[in-house]
Structure formats: structure tokens, C-alpha cells
Amino acid sequence: MLKNLLKKLGGDFILSVSAVVIFNGVIQFLLNPYLTEQLGADKFGTVIYLISLISVVGAFGTAANYSRMVVTAKRECSNGDYNRYFLVVAGIVLAVSAVGLVALKSFDPLYFVGYAALMFMTILRYYGDVEYRLSCNFKGYFVFYLLVAIGYIVGILLFRFTGSWVVTMLIGEALAILFVGLKGKIFKPPFLKKSVNYKENTKAVWTLVPANLVQTVILNADRILVMFFVGAYDVTVFYVATLIGKIVALVTVPLEGLVISYLNKYEDKIS
């Protein structure tokens, strides 16, 4: 049994790493270079700043992801418990999106709607992979991130018609969420029905939010600060200069997720 478990663990690790490598490879070697070429270094610096804000609030999705992993092993929870949490997060997204765009002194209502939609869909994507981590279904996990990458590529191909980096990225996020919605369980109805442990589950997720926010702020503060104290062009230069270190740091993400998934599923057998 141990041999089979180790074999599955090795296979799942390869799938997990492959998913992250493909996803980030498309971003770093296709999407970002293409947007830089099309928009220019100055405008792309602004895009990096806006994406950094999305990464910061992505903490709300990560918190829900880890919370559901832990809570599911301990007590009953429902989709409604987390959907109610995301209703509050949606309000926060609107506020952050508005402030982020107003800070650029270029607020446009249509751009605001698209940017807020991208921010919220990205948060849902951060949460969405818990569907596969809960069951240690890393084939599904791989497909999930592969669809995001494919969506980005489709967005690149359509950029000449849309002219919007927001639409380019939104396609990838939407494909992944649609996949979970159709094949998974976490986005199924009843959408707002509370479980008997609603209060405990809500407390658990909000308890994790501050720690995740601190982490994402630390990881993205450099680009945000450079934007306001130096300029958009320098954000692009700074981003490229620090790219290798950030990519290497991402290798720990699939390993961390894999370990948590297996501990969650096999906790009783291990103890």
C-alpha cells in the first residue's frame, strides 16, 4: 500500500509541477512579452501595477481555498458558506478596483467593470483549484491550469480585435471557472444555503485572510511602490529584473499544495 501511495504521490507531484510550469510559462514567455510589444514598456508597467493589485486581493481566494481544505476534514460545510463569503469579497473587489484606477487618474466606467470582473474571477480561480486538491485529483488540477493557459493564448490571438489586456486574461480565468462549474461540485447550487457550522466556517476563512494578505502584499509591494514613486516604465524594468527569482519561488507552490492535500486526505491513516 505504501508503495502505491508513493507512486501516486510522485505522479501527482509531476502533474502539479507541470500545471504550474505551463501556467506560468505562458504568462512569462508568451502573454507578458506580447503585451509589452503591443502596449509598450510604459503602458505595460501600468498593467503590471494593476495585475499586482489583483494578486494582492487574490489572498481572499487563497484563504477560502485553505480554509475549505481544513474545514472539510473536520466538519460539515456547504457551498453556501463560501459563496456568502464571496459576496462580501465582491464588495471589496469593487472598492479596490475603483481606488486602484482612480490612483492612476484615468478612471473609465467600462474599464472599471472589466477590471473588477477580472479581479473577482481571478480570486475565484485562486479558490477553484480546491475542487481537485480536496480529492487529490491532480489530473483535474492539471487540466484546470492548462485551461487557464489555453485561455490566455486565445486571448493573445484575439487581442488584435479586442485591444484589451483585461479581456485577454479574463478568457483564461473564465475557462477555468467554467470547467469547475461544469465538472466540479464547489460552484453547484444551492448557492447560498448555510451549513449547520456556518458561523465556525466563516470565522475560519476570515481568520486566514490577514495572514494571506500580508504574504501577497510583501510579494507585490515592490511593483506598486515603484509605480507611484518612480513611474510605469520603471515598473516594467524592475519586473523583468526580478523575474527569475519570482519564478524559482513558485516551485514551492505545487509542493505545498500537494502536501496539504495528502495530509488532509490521509490524516486518519497516518495517525
- What is the pLDDT tens value at each position of the chain, 271 positions in all? 556 656 676 777 788 888 888 998 899 889 999 999 999 999 999 999 999 999 999 999 999 999 999 999 899 999 999 999 999 999 999 999 999 999 998 889 999 999 999 999 999 999 999 999 988 898 999 999 999 999 999 999 999 999 999 999 999 999 999 999 999 999 999 999 999 999 999 999 999 999 999 999 998 998 999 999 989 988 888 777 666 666 665 555 555 655 666 566 655 454 4
> Taking the CB of residue 249, how many other CB atoms lie within 10 A of it?
10
pLDDT the model gives residue 21: 84
CB-based contacts of 254, cutoff 8 Å, min separation 6: 13, 16, 17, 19, 20
pLDDT of residue 203: 97
Residue 258: Cβ within 10 Å count: 20
Buried b (16+ CB within 10 A) or exposed e, 156-176: beebeeeebbbbbbbbbbbbb
Res 266: pLDDT:
57
What is the per-residue pLDDT for 270?
A: 45
Model pLDDT, residue 105: 87
- pLDDT at residue 227, rounded to an integer: 93
Alpha carbon distance 70, 60 (integer Å): 16
